[in-house]
Amino acid sequence: QSKPQILTIDDLEHHATLHLPKMVREYYNGGSMDSYTLQGNVHAYRQWYIMPRMLRDVSRIDTSAQVFDRKVTFPCCVAPAAMQKMAHPDGEEATARAAGAKGVVMGLSSFSTTSLEVVKKECDEATAATEGACVLQMYLFENRKVSEDLISRAEKSGYKAIVLTIDTPYFGRRLTELRNNFKVPSHLTMANFDASLGVKTGSHLRTEERQNSSSDNNTNSLPPPSSKESSRKTTTNPPPNKNDPSLTWDVIQYLKSITSLKIFVKGVLTASDAQLAVRHGADGIIVSNHGGRQLDCAPPTLEVLPEIVDVVGGRIPVHFDGGIRRGSDIFKALCLGADMCWAGRPVLWGLAYDGERGVKMALDILEEEFRACMALTGMRSVEEIRQYGRSLLRRVST
Ligand code: FNR
């Protein structure tokens, strides 16, 4: 059978999800409740035309950008996403190698199916010729010792920052997961947590709490375990530790008191919360609605980005994620003031399609489209896109 032609992220999504068992496909693709927010994220880009400038000598286009003290190939990081070995047996290792080789930053979910040390090692080996790097996403658990342990391991391993996800005090109701009786396949483990330490695993995913509750034939068709990790760990997951729902903005000071790593908060959706993040000492924020997986009816991230950028006023970096499927989506977010974009599902679809090679394809597509968009708008550097900013866009009239 001949290989399909993959030109866009939509092509990748189509061909990747053909492979995946229904339960996994719907876990990756789904949103909460009616998926208004999920759909809104993607559609928001269609509200903006791009106003191109001509005759500006675009013979040299520099797509590179600065983030976490690194020079990355283009302004797009890999968003943290849990349990990547469900997409492909190589899981996070493949993503780390592809991100490292491409020269972008990988955000590792602490609910990964590969340990943070192994991921960092894979990323380092791939970054020989690039400035790719890793940052660790985490939640804060009721048992603080667990989180502190995770942070100190991230420090030791050379992670560049901690991304604290703040939009998950409670679980978004993901109806497909409930209908599919989603559970983590028994051959996979939450590799960052060790039962012998009394460290609990899989806590943030309501669905994982039910992992042993029933059988599901779909899991039989999941990819087999990767050899390296499966030999490393044989324990079954202990009962979940709880995400701390009592957190307030003081959490930033607490984290800063226990680590010198930069603290970014992920999940800001209002100008008021952006102000609070600055006031409480966050090193950066990520405007995010968790890819439409938490509060349904939350606004599309592109919609709220400008007011957040305005209120932050350059005091700290404003990162952005949600619905990025094209290079022009990255371009529009930068025009509206984002300092950096993150892509979630495009990378997962690449991974599901063809492991490391598929993740590379996803990143290459986004970069190539972004480069073309820069050339066709007369923008020669990311800095120039920032300078011209909103003048490069026009709102579609309704
Ligand atoms: C996520 N996301 C996420 N975020 C986080 O902070 N910790 C996590 O463990 C996960 N896990 C996760 C799993 C899956 C399957 C998806 C699709 C997403 C959210 C992610 O970091 C990011 O905010 C969104 O994916 C961005 O939207 P797009 O790019 O997927 O549209």
Catalytic residue ranges: 290
Binding-site members are: 27, 80-82, 109, 137, 139, 165, 174, 266, 288, 290, 293, 321-325, 344-345
Q: Ligand 1 within 6 A of 81 CB?
A: yes
From the CA of 343, give the closest atom in ligand 1: 29
Q: For ligand 1, is residue 41 a contact (CB within 6 Å)?
A: yes
Q: What is the tens place of the pLDDT at every residue in 281-294?
A: 999 999 999 999 99
Task: Decide if 58 contacts 259 (C-beta within 8 A).
Answer: no
**What angle, 0 to 180 degrees and rounded to 10, lies between the N-to-C axes of helices 9-19 and 345-377?**
170
Is 113 touching ligand 1 by the criterion CB < 6 Å?
no
The overall pTM is greater than 0.95: no
Q: What is the pLDDT of residues 319-331, one digit of tens each?
A: 999 999 999 999 9
1 by Cβ neighbours in 10 Å (0-12 / 13-18 / 19+) ranks as exposed
pLDDT tens digits for 22-41?
999 999 999 999 999 999 99
| Atom 13 (ligand 1) nearest CA | 81
ipTM: 1.00
CB 108, CB 137: distance < 8 Å:
yes
Instruction: Return the best residue to mutate from 23, 138, 177, 293 for the ligand 1 pocket (most ligand atoms within 8 A of CB).
Output: 293
Taking residue 253's Cβ as centre, other Cβ atoms within 10 Å add up to 11
205 pLDDT band, cuts 50/70/90, is very low
Q: Please name the residue whose Cα sits nearest to atom 1 of ligand 1.
A: 81
Which residues are known binding-site members for glyoxylate? 27, 139, 174, 290, 293
pLDDT, tens digit, for every residue of 61-114? 999 999 999 999 999 999 999 999 999 999 999 999 999 999 999 999 999 999
Ligand 1 near 300 CB (within 6 A): no
Give, for ligand 1, the residue of 92, 109, 188 to mutate: max count of ligand atoms closer than 8 Å to Cβ.
109
Total number of residues shown for the chain: 398
What average pLDDT does the segment 305-313 reach?
98
Any ligand 1 atom below 6 A from CB of 159: no
Question: What are the angstrom distances between the C-alpha of 109 and each of 64, 112, 138, 161?
Answer: 25, 6, 7, 12
Could you tell me if 104 and 76 are in contact, meaning their C-beta atoms sit under 8 angstroms apart?
yes
Crossing angle of helices 22-29 and 9-19, in 10° steps, is 150
Nearest in space to 78 (alpha carbons), one of 269, 282, 331, 356: 356
Does residue 32 line the site of ligand 1, with CB under 6 A?
A: no
Identify the residue whose tokens are 């790097």.
133
Q: What is the DSSP letter of 162?
A: E
Question: pLDDT, tens digit, for every residue of 146-170?
Answer: 999 999 999 999 999 999 999 999 9
Confidence at residue 332, expressed as pLDDT on a 0 to 100 scale? 99
Report residue 220's pLDDT band, with 50, 70 and 90 as the boundaries.
very low
Ligand 1, atom 18: closest residue by C-alpha: 81
Q: Does the CB atom of residue 355 touch ligand 1 within 6 A? A: no
pLDDT tens per residue, range 331-377: 999 999 999 999 999 999 999 999 999 999 999 999 999 999 999 99
Q: Where is the binding site for FMN, in residues?
A: 80-82, 109, 137, 165, 266, 288, 321-325, 344-345
Distance 44 CA to ligand 1 centre (A): 18
Which residue's alpha carbon is nearest to atom 29 within ligand 1? Answer: 344
Residue type at 23 in one-letter notation: M
The pair of structure tokens assigned to 212 is 């042993």
Among all chains, which residue has been given the structure tokens 């939350």? 298
Cβ atoms of 86 and 27 within 8 Å: the answer is: yes
At 195 the pLDDT is 58
Nearest to 291 by CA among 269, 317, 262: 269
